[in-house]
């Protein structure tokens, strides 16, 4: 049995906006992290979460914002 990681190119292909569950999987963080970030905003000693969109009662994350957020937190040594 082999363990595989999600393939973003196929799993999220054609999607422009992701819900909270999809976003957590996409960026490799927990739903709790995303919720706390939305509720509390920027806090000391905590990486701010990605930008999000609210449409009615629904929260969505744009894939382009998630990619930018991931690139922004890339560490090069």
Global model pTM greater than 0.85: no
CB contact burial 4-42 (16+ within 10 A = b; e otherwise): eeeeeeeebeeeebbebebbbebbeeeeeebeebeeeee
Tens digits of residue pLDDT in 17-56 = 999 999 999 999 999 999 999 998 777 878 899 999 999 9
Residue 31: the pLDDT is 96
- The radius of gyration of the chain's CA atoms, rounded to the nearest angstrom, is 13
Residue 50: the pLDDT is 96
């Amino acid at each position: 049995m082999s363990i595989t990681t999600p393939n973003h190119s196929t799993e999220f292909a054609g999607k422009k906006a992701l819900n909270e569950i999809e976003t957590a999987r996409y960026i490799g963080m927990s739903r709790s992290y995303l919720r706390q970030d939305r509720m509390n905003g920027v806090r000391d000693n905590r990486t701010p979460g990605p930008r999000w969109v609210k449409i009615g009662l629904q929260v969505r994350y744009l894939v382009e914002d998630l990619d930018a957020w991931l690139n922004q937190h890339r560490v090069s040594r």
